[in-house]
Structure 1
Amino acid sequence: MQLVFAGTPEFAAAALKSLTAAGHDILLVLTQPDRPAGRGLKPKPSPVKDFALKQGLPVAQPASLKDAAVQATLRKIQPQVMVVAAYGLILPPAVLSIPARGCLNIHASLLPRWRGAAPIQRALLAGDVETGITIMRMDAGLDTGPMLLQKKCPIAPEDTAGSLHDRLAALGAAAIVEALDRLDSLTPVAQDERLATYAAKLTKEEALIDWTQPAEAIARAVRAYNPFPVAYTWLDGERLRIWFARAEPGQAPAGEVVAVDRQGVRVGTGAGLLVITELQREGAKRLNAAAFAASGVLRPGMRLKPAPA
């Protein structure tokens, strides 16, 4: 099938790889402009661009799809379908109407739950036990179009946003190939608006730990913010990043360190204890609990706080 593909991060690159391997004709790849990255802040191509160039695929990086010249290009090449995965730019109605068989989106949730920018992280924060992939036909709304195909994925107790992302990326890559193969026989199903929830974009500020929350909620947050933006707290004016943690029964004042040993750093919360098993000081390497315990930075009786002071 003749396709235009629009996507930017690794999640989208997995789908593009799957589509090319399946033999689809990729007429054009759209991805966001290169962004500054690394210590030197040099422009870095997106994972989608990087893969596309290695495959010799044509790439365009418009700042907006409202540009008349971009729309003219899309009309000229006449794609049968436009596949969109974590692109990051809005498709205006003029673009949605160009592909002969519509625009299909690969969304990392079981719609209508978790429409929006951060469905993986919001599912973890909410304590969902299941998520998945939805292939939907796009309309002018935010992830509101009719659904063509869904694939379910269990959420394991130890899943982080990173591990769940990788499984969903692979699932989405397979699902879009299946959806295109079955496009003539798939029946669009309208989303139930009564079940819709919104997955707001992540911010660094929300990753600050509130120790008055229950340990279970904090442990979910640690998993949801790994690998970005990473949950953190403050100790004597120094930021401590928390990469892995779990909840266990117990009672102690919120934010108070009650034990530091090879098994973890135990901290009081609003309900239960948080056992931190991997953490990181500002500007230092990530350390497991045993290495951090040996450093002597944390001792019982210290208080972790939601502010530097």
Structure 2
Amino acid sequence: MSRLVFAGSAPFAVPALQALTTAGHQVELVVTQPDRPANRLQMTAPAVKLAAQELRLQVFQPDRLRAQEAVSRLAALKPDLLVVAAYGQIVPASVLSIPTCCPLNVHASLLPRWRGAAPIAYAIREGDRETGVTIMAMDAELDHGPVLTRQETAIRPREDAVELTSRLARLGAELLVDTIARLSEIQPAVQDHARATYAGKLSRSDGELDWSLAAEALDRHVRAYRPWPGVTLPFAGDRVKVLSGRPLTGRGQPGAVLRSEREGVEVACGEGSYLLKEVQLSGRKPMPARLLVVKRA
């Protein structure tokens, strides 16, 4: 079994960490992002930190992984492997060179498609029918290194980013353990860099949409941008956050309310229509969309 350092932060990385310990690997150190302020009175710990504490593993939270003290601490451990999954920082060459074997990355796409920070959101938003997980040997460039193993899976018709992230996290954890067990026999495959596509970090403005989009495209955005940044749309002079809905085939002037009933509020889009089911106004709790029309009546 391997002695390793694990670097991860987001919930996607938790199953991988748990699977490594279950498989008997010796996790010498868990590197994760610093705690962040949730509000003025409370700090929030990364999901990986909480998981590591439950597993009674040592946690290290440097502000910058490239800082000399961080590099020195990792180098002193002399790990066989460095495993990275949804860590949230670029891993510098000074850290990649530390493990005696190779640095491994668990990436939530079928590389070279969707390199970058938000591969799951981009796959749903762009209407991909298939995605998966890639285990790659890291180099100094973003998601650029040779592929060791990969596992494909279909994206389900109504699947959102939360559901797909959970599925891919479990798939990636299984694939990671299997890959490490077979490292000596795996022949790395160089990526076709000419076919690379990029999934940049999402910002709040990405979710600010309008009704001129086709209903199918709008639906993909809603599912892709859960939970962050979420989709907001103009409604009766305000903006409403869309928590759930589905595309329909109604017609009308984009933004016009076609009907309102118990199931939700149907609004015309650039092509087709969209049924708002659950929404949230700024500073309010989530509510059924039909209440929007009542409040505006």
Please tell me the residue identity of whatever aligns with 2:169.
Answer: A
* 1:110–1:152 Cα contact (<8 Å) kept: yes
Offset at residue 30 of structure 1 (A): 0.4
Q: Which residue of 2 aligns with 1:257?
A: 257
Instruction: Tell me whether 271-280 or 95-104 shows the greater mean CA deviation.
Output: 271-280
Q: Which residue of 2 aligns with 1:140?
A: 140
CA distance in 1, matches of 2:41, 2:133: 34
Q: Which residue of 1 aligns with 2:57?
A: 57
1:215 aligns with 2:215: yes
1:232 aligns with 2:197: no
Q: How does 1:133-282 map onto structure 2 within 5 Å?
A: 133-282=133-282
CA distance in 2, matches of 1:36, 1:56: 24
Please tell me the residue identity of whatever aligns with 1:296.
Answer: V
* 1:114–1:122 Cα contact (<8 Å) kept: yes
Please tell me the residue identity of whatever aligns with 2:36.
Answer: R
Deviations, residues 253-278 of structure 1 (Å, cap 9, x unaligned): 01111111122211111111111222
Counting aligned pairs with the same residue, the percent is 44
Task: Name structure 1 gaps, 5 residues minimum.
Answer: 300-309
* 1:32–1:46 Cα contact (<8 Å) kept: yes
Please tell me the residue identity of whatever aligns with 1:27.
Answer: E
Please tell me the residue identity of whatever aligns with 1:111.
Answer: L
Q: How does 1:10-89 map onto structure 2 within 5 Å?
A: 10-37=11-38, 39-89=39-89
Offset at residue 52 of structure 1 (A): 1.2
CA distance in 1, matches of 2:88, 2:143: 13
Q: Which residue of 1 aligns with 2:118?
A: 118
Q: Structure 2 vs 1, CA of residues 187 and 45 (structure 1 numbering), >3 Å: closer, same or farther? A: same
1:296 aligns with 2:297: no
Q: Which residue of 1 aligns with 2:9?
A: 8
Offset at residue 297 of structure 1 (A): 3.0
* 2:242–2:276 Cα contact (<8 Å) kept: yes
Instruction: Tell me whether 60-69 or 133-142 shows the greater mean CA deviation.
Output: 60-69
SS of aligned partner of 2:49 = helix
CA distance in 2, matches of 1:227, 1:66: 30
CA distance in 2, matches of 1:179, 1:33: 29
Instruction: Tell me whether 118-127 or 239-248 shows the greater mean CA deviation.
Output: 239-248
Offset at residue 293 of structure 1 (A): 4.5
CA distance in 1, matches of 2:286, 2:113: 34
Q: Which residue of 1 aligns with 2:107?
A: 107
TM-score where L is the length of structure 2: 0.95
Please tell me the residue identity of whatever aligns with 1:8.
Answer: S
CA distance in 1, matches of 2:128, 2:94: 36
What count of residue pairs does the alignment treat as equivalent?
296
Which ranges of 4 or more aligned residues in structure 1 deviate by more than 3 Å? Answer: none
SS of aligned partner of 1:176 = helix
Q: In angstroms, what is the RMSD of aligned CA positions?
A: 1.5
CA distance in 2, matches of 1:284, 1:75: 49
SS of aligned partner of 1:191 = coil
CA distance in 1, matches of 2:134, 2:70: 27
Task: Name structure 2 gaps, 5 residues minimum.
Answer: none
TM-score where L is the length of structure 1: 0.92
* 1:262–1:293 Cα contact (<8 Å) kept: no
Instruction: Tell me whether 58-67 or 198-207 shows the greater mean CA deviation.
Output: 58-67
CA distance in 1, matches of 2:43, 2:263: 42
Q: Structure 2 vs 1, CA of residues 270 and 237 (structure 1 numbering), >3 Å: closer, same or farther? A: closer
SS of aligned partner of 2:203 = coil
* 2:210–2:234 Cα contact (<8 Å) kept: no
